[in-house]
Amino acid sequence: MAEVSLRKVVKRYDEVEAVRGIDLDIADHEFVVLVGPSGCGKSTTLRMIAGLEDISDGDITIGGDIVNDVPPKDRDIAMVFQNYALYPHMTVAENMSFGLRLKHYPKAEIKSRVTEAARMLDITDLIDRKPKQLSGGQRQRVAMGRAIVRNPKVFLFDEPLSNLDAKLRVQMRIEIKKVHQKVRTTTVYVTHDQVEAMTLADRVVVMNHGRIEQIGAPNELYHKPATRFVASFIGSPAMNFVPCRLEDVGGRLHVRLTDRLAFPLPPARAARYQAVPRTDKLLLGIRPEHIAEARPHLHPGVEPFDAVLDVTEPMGMETLVYFTLEGAQICGRVNPNAGAQDGAPLRLAVDLNNMHLLNEVTGVVL
């Protein structure tokens, strides 16, 4: 096991810069998830760590050694691929032991390691089958088993759950987390699914356009996003953004959304945004769960307003409501018993204690 470091790592393909100078330190035993939309450079970064792609510039170290020019087989890593990449002509046991057999491990040790990994992944009964006789979830377990038996310094996962159906994906997500709790191997995991990123990671690295937007623990990213991209990418349904500006009304700082709609800011927020120029074009960022039905007794900082709902989506435990404000579609989450109906008016309340204020031009969260 080992720590992994990336220093100003760049990847260029002819004219395109896929990865634009990434700095990242991954601690020993840590589970780090690289997340971002397709084409953000996350898979390329992982493949550079694996040694499957050359790096154009910068340094990658694994366990303190620079591995820029070390071939994949000498990096002591294991990788789980999106399509599993199991050898179709080998049985499950042969697939799992392939790396060890190439390194001429003693037969008894290979057997004990394969048995142990198979037991951990609950695939003991499948050990003599060929990959084509397995379901997608079982293949994924075998692919993980192949990584585990090697006992490498680093696990690399390249969108391992993308080919599974939604239900199985949730199940395998838990499996992966359990395995990591047992083996504690340093793990770099790539996904485009922010839910996977949030649920699995010790730390999430959000990437966009070949750059790192923000690094942080899942809750930190959710509650303190640094940029508009992170704020909108993390969380589902996504954060709402409404054009707004600040103004002083009667000695209190207000956030004005429309000519008729302005909310006074709670004291803590008012103090924080006091220095923001009143002429700046801003965006108010509010997560759907902070727009709910108005209750008779509102907490301080929770401001009521009226909206005409465009669409409602009953989810069972809650109902998602959509309405339009200043041309922007806004989503809120209300109690199923709040009486939300398509096309009907509803009195809602916004919790400004959890608001975000962004610069509309730079996208930076203030």
Partner 1 sequence: MADVALHPNRVQATKATRRRNGLHNALRRKSTVAFLMTLPLILLVAAFVIYPAFYSLHLATLNKSMTKFIGLGNFEFLFKRDTFWLVVKQSCIFAISAVIFKALIGFIVAHFVHNVPANKQRRWRGMLLVPWVIPPAMSTLAWLWLFDPSYSAFNYTLSFFGIGPIPWTGDANWARFSVILVNVWYGAPFFMIMYLAALKSVPEQLYEAAAIDGANWWQRIWYVTLPMMRNIIAITTLFSLIVTFANFDIVRILTAGGPLDHTHIFATWAFRIGIEGSDIPLGASVSLFMVPILAVAAIFILRDISKRGNEA
| Binding interface with partner 1 (CB under 8 A) | 50-52, 71-73, 77-79, 81, 83, 85-90, 98-99, 102-103, 130-132, 146, 150
Distance CA 5, CA 2 (A): 10
The nearer residue to partner 1, 85 or 320, going by C-beta atoms, is: 85
Task: State the minimum distance, in angstroms, from the CB of residue 156 to partner 1.
Answer: 8
The nearer residue to partner 1, 133 or 335, going by C-beta atoms, is: 133
Task: State the minimum distance, in angstroms, from the CB of residue 253 to partner 1.
Answer: 56
Q: Which residues pair with 212 in a beta bridge?
A: 207
Length of the chain: 366
The nearer residue to partner 1, 73 or 178, going by C-beta atoms, is: 73
The nearer residue to partner 1, 8 or 101, going by C-beta atoms, is: 101
Residues 6+ apart with CB under 8 A from 97: 110, 113, 114, 149
Task: State the minimum distance, in angstroms, from the CB of residue 102 to partner 1.
Answer: 5
The nearer residue to partner 1, 135 or 341, going by C-beta atoms, is: 135
Using the structure block, give the residue that is written with the tokens 């340093």: 186
Task: State the minimum distance, in angstroms, from the CB of residue 150 to partner 1.
Answer: 8
The nearer residue to partner 1, 103 or 177, going by C-beta atoms, is: 103
Phi, psi of 150 (to 5 degrees): -70, -20
Task: State the minimum distance, in angstroms, from the CB of residue 164 to partner 1.
Answer: 17
Task: State the minimum distance, in angstroms, from the CB of residue 79 to partner 1.
Answer: 5
The nearer residue to partner 1, 149 or 346, going by C-beta atoms, is: 149
Task: State the minimum distance, in angstroms, from the CB of residue 143 to partner 1.
Answer: 9
Task: State the minimum distance, in angstroms, from the CB of residue 55 to partner 1.
Answer: 16
Task: State the minimum distance, in angstroms, from the CB of residue 65 to partner 1.
Answer: 17
Question: What is the CA angle 239-244-246, rounded to 5?
Answer: 125
Structure tokens at 96: 């799992």
The nearer residue to partner 1, 77 or 302, going by C-beta atoms, is: 77
Phi, psi of 85 (to 5 degrees): 50, 45
The nearer residue to partner 1, 88 or 250, going by C-beta atoms, is: 88
